[in-house]
Homo-oligomer: A and B are copies of this chain.
Amino acid sequence: MSGHLTVAEAGESATIAAIQKAAPSSLNGDDAAVLHPTSSNSRHVCTTDVLVCDRHFSFLYSTAYEVGVKAVSQNFADIQAMGARPTAILLGIATPGDTDLGVISDLARGINDAAQPWGAELVGGDVVLSTDLVLSITAIGELGGPAAALTLGGAGVGHRVIASGPIGYSAAGLDILRHYGSREAIPKEDAIAQELVQWHCAPRLEVERGTVARAAGASSMTDNSDGLVRDLSMIAQRSGVRIDLNRSAITPDSTLLHAAEITGVDPWEWVLTGGEDHTLIGTTDARLPTTYRPIGMVRSRVAGDETTPYVTVDGVRPAYTKGWESLR
Instruction: Flag if B327 contacts A15 (CB, 8 Å).
Output: yes
> Which among A7, A12, A128, A131 has the greatest number of chain B C-beta atoms within 10 A?
A128
Contact for A327 among B10, B134, B327, CB less than 8 A: B10
A327 pairs with B97, CB closer than 8 A? yes
Measured CA separation A132–B91 after assembly (Å): 18
Is A206 in contact with chain B by the CB < 8 A criterion?
Answer: no
In the complex, identify which listed stretch (A44-52, A165-173, A291-299) lies at the interface while the others stay far away: A44-52
Contact B94 A50 (CB under 8 A): yes
Protomer copies: 2
Q: Which of B37, B47, B77 contacts A90 (CB 8 A)?
A: B47
With both beta carbons as reference points, the residue of chain B lying nearest to A133 in the complex is identified as B130
Q: A32-B82, A143-B34 are in contact. Are A129 and B90 (CB under 8 A)?
A: no
User: Which single residue of chain B is at the shortest CB-CB distance from A36?
Assistant: B43
Cα distance, A47 to B27, chains bound together (Å): 11
Chain A, interface size category, equals 35 or more
Are B327 and A127 in contact, with the CB atoms below 8 A? yes
What CA separation (Å) do A45 and B127 show in the bound complex? 19
Known contacts A11-B327, A44-B44, A52-B128; decide if A138 and B31 are in contact (CB<8 Å): no
Contact present for B11 and A328 (CB under 8 Å): yes
Check A43 against B48 for contact (C-beta < 8 Å).
no
A10 to B327, CA, bound (A): 8
A123 at interface (Cβ–Cβ under 8 A)? yes
* Cα distance, A33 to B10, chains bound together (Å): 37
Q: Mark A59-74, 1 if CB is under 8 A from B, else 0.
A: 0000000000000000
Please give, as numbers and ranges, the residues of chain B lying within 8 Å of A44 by CB-CB distance. 34-35, 37, 44, 140
Q: What is the chain B residue whose CB lies nearest that of A97?
A: B327
* B138 with A90: CB separation less than 8 A: yes
Minimal Cβ-Cβ distance residue in B for A6: B327
